[in-house]
Amino acid sequence: MEIGGIIGGIPIFMIFIFTGILINLIQVICYVTIRPVSKSKFRRINGAITELLWLESVWMMEWWSGFEVKLYTDIKTFRLMGKEHAIIMPNHVSDSDTLVTWVLAQRVGCLRSALTIVKKTTQYLPVFGLTTWFYEFIFVDRNWAKDESKLRSSFEALKDFPMPFWMIIFVEGTRLTPDKLLEAQAFASSKGYPIPKNVLIPKTKGIVTTVQSLRSFVPAIYDVTIAIPKNQPYFPTLLTFLKMQPCKVKVHIKRYSIKDLPESDQEIAQWCRSRFIAKDALLDQFATTGTFEEDEITEFRRSTKSLIVTVMFANLLLIGGWIYFQKLSTEWRYIILVTIVGVVAIIIHIFLEFTKLPPQKNKAA
């Protein structure tokens, strides 16, 4: 139940909101004072401070809830991850997928430059929305007439990005659900495409524009396949993490050089559809074997850095709160504490509602 997630999430979100407000204040100051002088320096500072907030999310997943990410790829790709600009193209299975990409980015040292294309309403989330706006997330309306120019201008602005970045795009456009899968299967049947079992039909306009806009200075695209083992009791979601329910995902990554991709829009679109056909087959194989053919990257372990950062901000909050409450009368202490807990609970509810799936007509696909 959601109430369990709200209760369990209060201490986490207290730290997150406290850190986020501090970071938002620093972002505003740097945006006004540093960015007009040096956009590159602003981006470096902004990335460094935003990483602190994202690390708290990584801590919540790995240390609070016991979440595990197992990575499968070739060693050459692993050595390049985080050291080059790259387009990241994952399948979309749950509301935790963005957080999964943050875990991947943190492991390879580019969490401070893991950019994502997200729906426009994301920017209205408390703390998170403002942070991602400064962080240069790309907010889309899911209306191509509006989004095309937004994407092109945002990609153009990345030409002088001062450090290796990931541009994460969920080309399916929405999470996999029984209803969406049935719609995708009906669409595939009408178009003569192979019928998908584990993925949706990719919306290719976005990935075509991404590739064509970035190919002059981004060398690679990572085809990321997120697989959730079926023999575990919990499904990875924000609510699962808050309730300390351990689960895992396994991630397969295959690197493609941008220069080897086709040149025309139509051929890129077909390449993308072909990749999702292969991704669907890969997930079929995973459902049978529970693993991928590539070796697991065993040095891919949970982050100590996220633990240190979270403990640091938790101590700052506790010490600052204790000093502040010592100045108040007993009556005001209770009033302010109850108010803070109530506001935090409301914010948690907002996040849970934002990430919750709509009711499904079909329970199984």
Residue 323, number of CB atoms within 10 A of its CB: 9
Asked whether the beta carbons of 113 and 166 are under 8 A apart, the reply is yes
Give the three-class secondary structure for 141. Answer: coil
Confidence of residue 364 (pLDDT cuts 50, 70, 90): very low
Query: Do the beta carbons of residue 352 and residue 239 sit within 8 Å?
Result: yes
Would you state the pLDDT for residue 330? Answer: 86
What is the fold of 2-308? Glycerol-3-phosphate (1)-acyltransferase (3.40.1130)
Residue with tokens 């990321």: 224
Three-state SS for 287-306 is: HHHCCCCCCECCCCCCCHHH
Query: What's the token pair of residue 294?
Result: 């590539």
Q: Where do we find the tokens 């991850």?
A: 81
Domain boundaries, the chain: 2-308
What integer pLDDT is reported at residue 365 of this predicted model? 42
* pLDDT tens-digit series, residues 247-263: 999 999 999 999 999 99
Tell me the C-alpha to C-alpha distance, in Å, between residue 307 and each of 64, 87, 302.
Answer: 10, 28, 9
Above 90 in pLDDT, residue 358? no
Nearest to 138 by CA among 169, 162, 111: 169
Tell me the per-residue pLDDT of 320-333, one tens digit each, with 9 for 90 and over.
999 999 998 888 99
What's the confidence (pLDDT) of residue 79?
Answer: 95
Taking only the tens place, the pLDDT of each residue in 106-153 is 999 999 999 999 999 999 999 999 999 999 999 999 899 999 999 999
**Stated pTM of the model:** 0.94
Provide mean pLDDT across the span 266-292: 96
**Phi-psi region for residue 26, left (φ > 0), alpha (ψ -120 to 50) or beta?**
alpha
3-state SS track over 155-204: HHCCCCCCCCCEEECCCCCCCCCHHHHHHHHHHHHHHCCCCCCCCCCCCH
All residues at 6 or more sequence positions from 315 whose CB lies less than 8 Å from its CB, including other chains? none
